[in-house]
Amino acid sequence: MSYIKQGTSAFRKTNLALFAGGFSTFANLYCVQPLLPEFSREFHISPTAASLSLSVTTIALAISMLLIGSLSESWGRKPIMAFSMFAVSVLAILTAFVPDFHFLLVSRILQGVVFAGLPSIAMAYLGEEIDPTSLGVAMGMYISGNTIGGLGGRIIVGMLTDFFNWRVAIASIGVLSIVASLLFWLTLPSSQNFQPRTLEWGKLIKSMISHLKDPGLLCLYGIGFLLMGSFVTLYNYIGFQLIAPPYSLNQTLAGWIFIVYIVGTFSSTWMGSLADKYGRRKVLWISLLIMFLGAGTTLNTNLLIKIIGIAVFTFGFFGGHSIASSWVGRRATHDKAQASSLYLFFYYVGSSVGGTAGGAFWTAFGWDGVVSMIICFLVLALILSVFLSKIAPVVVHKTKNAFVKA
């Protein structure tokens, strides 16, 4: 097999394309997050109900990825990813014209379905095409695109909502996404190591069950659920706290809080490199401990210290996600796209469950309740990571002189 190695032109083009793909996908996915207080005000709904504008999208995304990841084993990687990006862009523009919150939810569900084409396949594409010694860096770069997309989408929407309204803001994200989609199509190298197969649902279901029987993969899926549940909960409800007294920030300033996302761009790549060098288990534990520290720090009422806590929490999250997601590709011995789709299924179900459940804690106990829920999720993730460290690696393939393990 011919792999793409770090330092080559193909490696740079792959990173650029998937960075653009990650940007487009996550700018659209999370652009509604800073708008939750706006939806609550305009449509006269509770914070928990407003959070559904994100939760219904992520649950639709999670379910769709199980199907689309499997379809890509037969239809190929690049065409599905490109179609997904263009469809998401068009739907974003249409979302700006919905007449009420119910239609907004329908539009967001449709986006969730087509969102699945990129994240369910991107990790499998990298696992197949990138040299194993460069995979940590490449995965980190892809997740960096996710980070910048999540950051840019939130900030752009926050500012444009203040200057115009949320409809103009969402339509603008759609236009930017069309540009990113064109860049993706023009720069991503076609698959060289992908071997298409006839789509056989019986075998796919059997393969899925075999992934779910692997205790190591189950631990990674659980960790993904808990990491994302914690992360989305924090960012869903921090806006409600910041626009209320004693902070009373406007939409633009509240949106700029998401600038701390930039630390994720660094941590996903840097900690991915550390994991390649020092081992995934140790660096995953460090990431979880950093998240604990960050979550606890946000309890401080001083605005600057609170923002520092959010940044620390974000640093740990993206590092942990980078490690866990790349680990799935290394551990899965077959149908890697499907294994990655299962990871992302649990990951986005965690987003939906945590993001909406956090509303009940916010309503009943305020920010202390939100942080308490996050801490519980992180404790469970740490327990799973300890179990994971006790599980023996599996044989991925056999070379002439040695077994390669993950």
DSSP secondary structure string for all residues of 14-29? HHHHHHHHHHHHHHHH
Place of tokens 């011919």: 2
C-beta separation of 401 from 239 below 8 A: no
pLDDT band for position 403 (cuts 50, 70, 90): very low
CATH number of the domain within which 349 lies: 1.20.1250.20
| Residue 56, domain member (yes or no) | yes
| Residue 1, domain member (yes or no) | no
- For residues 257 and 13, what is the distance between their CA atoms, to the nearest angstrom? 31
φ and ψ at residue 54, rounded to 5 degrees? -100, -40
Task: Give percent of the chain above pLDDT 70.
Answer: 93
Expressed as residue numbers, the domain containing 146 is: 9-188+199-405
| Residue 263, domain member (yes or no) | yes
| Residue 82, domain member (yes or no) | yes
- Structure confidence by residue, pLDDT tens digits, 101-130: 999 999 999 999 998 888 778 877 887 788
How many helices and strands (H and E) does the chain possess?
Answer: 16, 2
Q: Return the closest-CA partner of residue 129 out of 272, 280, 5.
A: 5
- For residues 279 and 273, what is the distance between their CA atoms, to the nearest angstrom? 10
pLDDT of residue 330: 76
| Residue 242, domain member (yes or no) | yes
Q: Return the closest-CA partner of residue 352 out of 155, 120, 112.
A: 112
- Structure confidence by residue, pLDDT tens digits, 154-193: 889 989 998 899 999 999 999 999 999 999 999 998 877 7
Better-predicted residue by pLDDT, 117 or 88:
88
Average pLDDT, the chain: 85
| Residue 339, domain member (yes or no) | yes
- For residues 42 and 184, what is the distance between their CA atoms, to the nearest angstrom? 36
- Structure confidence by residue, pLDDT tens digits, 342-393: 888 899 899 999 989 999 999 999 999 999 999 999 999 999 998 888 876 6
pLDDT of residue 189: 85
| Residue 194, domain member (yes or no) | no
Total count of domains within the chain:
1
Examine the pLDDT at 74 and tell me if it is beyond 70: no
| Residue 111, domain member (yes or no) | yes
